[in-house]
Amino acid sequence: MKLTNIWAIVKKELGAYFNHPLGYILLAVFLGLSNFFFFRTAFLSQEASIRPFFELLPWFFLFLVPAATMKSIAAEQDEGTLEIVLAQPISEIEFLLGKFLGNWLFISIAVGLTIFIPMTLSLGGRLDYGTVFAQYVGAIFLGGAMVAVGILSSTLTKNQTISFIIALFASFALIIIGLDVVIMGLPYPINDVFAELSILRHFQNITRGVIDLRDIVYFFSVGFVFLSITYLVFMARKLNRKAKKYQSLRIGIALMVAIAILINLFGSFISFRFDFTEHKLYSLSKGTVKVLRELDDVITIKFYASKELPAQAALLYRDVKDALQDYKNASRGKLQLVQKFPDSNEAAAEEAQQEGVQPVQFNVIGADEFKVKEGYLGIALSFGDQKEVIPFVDNTSDLEYKITSLIRNISKDETHKIVFTSGHDEKDLSKDLQALNKALSEQYEVESATKKDLGKKLKGADLAIVAGPKKKFDKKEKAALEKFIEEGKSVFLLIDMLEVNAQYGMANPNKDSFSDFSEEFGVKVNKDIVYDVKSNQQIPMQGGGGMSYIIPYPFFPKLVANPKHIVTSRLKEITFPWASSLTLIKGKLGKAKAEALMQTSEYAGRQTSNFNISPDPENKSISEKNLKRYTLGYALRKVGKSSKGRLIVLGDSDFLTDQFAADQQSGQLNPQVSSLVLNSIDWLSQDELLIGIRSKNAQPRQLRFSSTAVKNFVRYFNMVGLVVILVAFGLWRMNRRRKLSQEVYIS
């Protein structure tokens, strides 16, 4: 096999695209449509991510690739040039590889032209470029697999239209067999086979930013299978079908195709992954490895999973299994992993229920009806006589944090104790902070302390939390908290400088906010309310005639997290409702080191009197003059005369309440709020091991353009500008070739 022959075919194939209008038309239509559909929704989510584009890409390839490949061999057969080419010193394999690589390169160029999307989106927010790289690599492999399908279709007929239709339906079949609507209507194990053989399932794994070797093997297998069949079709025309050589070739290709399919169906042993995400979201963190290595005895993890899982849960199975295998590999023999299938083993089902893993019911679409189906996907951990359980894994975004924190809970002797002050109209754990209380109780010992027993309960505590008091602390309580800090312990202050009346759209000063305590340590909570005219949360409003609409509410500013502090390094942003700004009193800081945690955008202002917080868009108290960035949170270390304590001060406590922080359906704490609060608690407790793990479920960064003009430039440059440039270049090139051909003809 000669590379020069292959390269000659590649150049000829590319020339067929770029020396004629067809290539430019295909590229222009692809760019125009794909960019249009992406930008139609990209700015609504305001996420600095191009994952939605790649989720749509297989559907655009469904038409682009068949349109590009339909003439590749069909035209050669129709025009009678195929025999002429193969009569040259070039083999069928060289010819097919040249055709395949030429078309694959063209599709890769089409994908490459979309690189302007992440480049221009970066004007509004920094993307995770590792994820972007993985997504483009995955797109190229996807293109290669679908090109192989198109090459076979073009070989089967001389008619280009028929070739397009065959490739379209073959590619469509490879995509839809992975859709829930198809899988849920199939019996086990056919549904699993279809899912494993679906292009969509393997490509969706890569769009997360992880290149799994199994997915790469899959795309190579698809290309190999279809090109092998194409080669067999070629040789069938050349050889006598009854000849021994042809029969041997057919058997050999059939065996290789069967092996490729079996590897994809049963290739669970291939478990190597390249995690390109910025914070290695799908790899075990150093904290997890440290927890595993420090185990003084073997911990057992039992993974209970149904063999016949509903489609919505089956998609999680591979990720959970891979994660648990990573734990086992990282533990160096200190973790024993056992997998059991309760749906096919009565003893395993009974054991699962004893461990606390219960089957979950799903509504599943059967062949002709909806039906209820049960499935197991739970994890039980045991360490000596200590046990913990995750009854059902409903997502993997925070799976590492859950497992590692449970391992740590059952393997360590002590847990941190947190004391919430009460008796001053603070936010109440049992009423206002139920979601927070539930999240904290899973890891820490949580208590409330009244005025009478504050000093006593602080003696065995690691951290005190003061959440939005409205009544005065007496001298004895202040002294107890000051002593607590001097002993090297920490205090978390959440100060509300205003009492808000949302119903009437007004606020009044909170005279007993406890802000004087933070001032003693150098942090002043200002008597103001901060608003942000550009970076804020939208809220529903009731209009006339019972109509409701969504409007931006400046008094719910979206704060930017400090990426340099461990507490907020992986947080994207968080909303503080009706918050106050903070300033440092340098003369009172002493030896303490203060770092900003949360800040507004540069488009923020503040009210200092006549607090009008009405959501009315015509609210005249919101001025757009003298806007700047404000700090709403500080973290201090080396606090107090002993320089051993730590202190975090935030200008709001409302963001912690169930009203703002809890999911209304599940009752779970919002991931961003959870990360901020739990990271703060770990940092204040000087136990930072879990911080890096917990923040892995952080959402994509937000898009925030400096002006509407920049935003419109990004949108229309990609949707229209690129297409115009491409068409103009194509016209220039066609005109230039026409003039050159005329000059050659005249001469």
What pLDDT is recorded for position 565? 92
Read off the pLDDT of each residue in 523-533 and give the average, rounded to a whole number.
Answer: 96
Whether residue 184 has pLDDT greater than 70: no
H or E segment at 420? strand 417-421
Read off the pLDDT of each residue in 100-126 and give the average, rounded to a whole number.
Answer: 92
Tens-digit pLDDT profile for residues 713-728: 999 999 999 999 999 9
400: CB partners within 8 A, 6+ apart: 284, 285, 288, 323, 693, 696
What pLDDT is recorded for position 427? 94
**Average of per-residue pLDDT values in the chain:** 87
The fraction of the chain above a pLDDT of 70, given in percent, is 93
CB-neighbour burial class of residue 608 (10 A; exposed 0-12, middle 13-18, buried 19+): exposed
> Which residues are registered as beta bridge partners of 594?
636
User: Rounded CA gap, 141 and 463, in Å?
Assistant: 52
Read off the pLDDT of each residue in 411-426 and give the average, rounded to a whole number.
Answer: 88
Upstream peptide bond of 189 is cis (omega within 30 degrees of 0)? yes
User: Rounded CA gap, 258 and 254, in Å?
Assistant: 6
Tens-digit pLDDT profile for residues 186-245: 666 677 777 778 888 888 888 888 888 888 989 999 999 999 999 888 888 777 777 777
Q: Could you tell me which residue, 452 or 185, shows the higher pLDDT?
A: 452
- Domain 417-686 fold: Rossmann fold (3.40.50)
H or E segment at 193? helix 190-196
What DSSP string describes 599-658? E--TTEEEE-SS-B----TT-TT---SS-B--EEEEEEEEETTTT-EEEEEES-SGGGSH
What pLDDT is recorded for position 629? 96
Q: How far is CA 351 from CA 108, 348, 379, 384, 520, in A?
A: 52, 5, 12, 17, 57
Read off the pLDDT of each residue in 141-158 and give the average, rounded to a whole number.
Answer: 93
Q: How far is CA 555 from CA 335, 542, 658, 697, 704, in A?
A: 49, 18, 18, 26, 18
What pLDDT is recorded for position 143? 95
What pLDDT is recorded for position 372? 66
The fraction of the chain above a pLDDT of 90, given in percent, is 44
Read off the pLDDT of each residue in 671-683 and give the average, rounded to a whole number.
Answer: 89
The winner for highest mean pLDDT among 83-92, 336-345, 504-513 is 504-513
Contact between 660 and 575 (Cβ < 8 Å): yes
Q: Where in the chain is the domain with CATH 3.40.50?
A: 417-686
Tens-digit pLDDT profile for residues 583-597: 999 889 989 999 999
Q: Which of 13-27, 137-151, 509-523, 578-592 has the lowest mean pLDDT?
A: 13-27
87: CB partners within 8 A, 6+ apart: none
DSSP annotation of 585 = -
| Helix residue ranges, H only, 114-189 | 116-121, 129-155, 160-176, 180-183
Helix axes 213-238, 92-113, angle to 10 degrees: 140
3-state helix, strand, coil in the chain (%, to 5): 50, 20, 30
Write out the two tokens for 363. 């509504």
Read off the pLDDT of each residue in 309-316 and give the average, rounded to a whole number.
Answer: 66
Whether residue 272 has pLDDT greater than 70: yes
Contact between 628 and 405 (Cβ < 8 Å): no
747: CB partners within 8 A, 6+ apart: none
Instruction: With cut-offs at 50, 70 and 90, classify the pLDDT of residue 746.
Output: low
CB-neighbour burial class of residue 373 (10 A; exposed 0-12, middle 13-18, buried 19+): middle
Whether residue 313 has pLDDT greater than 80: no
Read off the pLDDT of each residue in 295-312 and give the average, rounded to a whole number.
Answer: 83
Instruction: With cut-offs at 50, 70 and 90, classify the pLDDT of residue 279.
Output: confident
| Helix residue ranges, H only, 46-113 | 51-69, 74-79, 82-87, 92-113
Three-state secondary-structure class, residue 336: strand
CB-neighbour burial class of residue 711 (10 A; exposed 0-12, middle 13-18, buried 19+): middle
Write out the two tokens for 643. 């320089």
What DSSP string describes 534-568? SSEEEEEEE-GGG-EEEEEEEEEEEEEE-TTSTTT
Q: Which parts of 247-357 are beta strand (E)?
A: 273-275, 299-305, 335-340
What pLDDT is recorded for position 185? 64
What pLDDT is recorded for position 697? 57
Cα 670 from chain centre: 16
User: Rounded CA gap, 407 and 427, in Å?
Assistant: 31
458: CB partners within 8 A, 6+ apart: 419, 449, 464, 480, 481, 483, 484, 489
HSE at residue 551, side-chain half, CA atoms within 13 A, is 14
Q: Which of 18-22, 354-358, 688-692 has the lowest mean pLDDT?
A: 688-692
Polymer length of the chain: 747
Contact between 252 and 190 (Cβ < 8 Å): no
Amino acid at the residue 117: I
Longest Cα separation, the chain: 107
86: CB partners within 8 A, 6+ apart: 92, 95
What pLDDT is recorded for position 284? 87
> Which residues are registered as beta bridge partners of 109?
none
Measured in degrees and rounded to the nearest 5, phi and psi for residue 353 equal: -70, -35
Contact between 369 and 363 (Cβ < 8 Å): no
What pLDDT is recorded for position 178? 75
Tens-digit pLDDT profile for residues 362-406: 665 554 455 667 788 999 999 988 889 999 888 787 788 889 988
Q: Between β-strands 548-561 and 536-542, what pairing exists: parallel, antiparallel or unpaired?
A: antiparallel
Read off the pLDDT of each residue in 148-170 and give the average, rounded to a whole number.
Answer: 93
User: Rounded CA gap, 675 and 669, in Å?
Assistant: 9
Number of H helices and E strands in the chain, helices first, is 28, 24
H or E segment at 418? strand 417-421
Instruction: With cut-offs at 50, 70 and 90, classify the pLDDT of residue 30.
Output: very high
CATH C-level class of 286-408: alpha beta
Q: Where in the chain is the domain with CATH 3.40.30.10?
A: 286-408
User: Rounded CA gap, 195 and 312, in Å?
Assistant: 12
The residue whose two tokens read 């440039």 is 725
Tens-digit pLDDT profile for residues 80-99: 787 777 777 788 888 899 99
247: CB partners within 8 A, 6+ apart: none
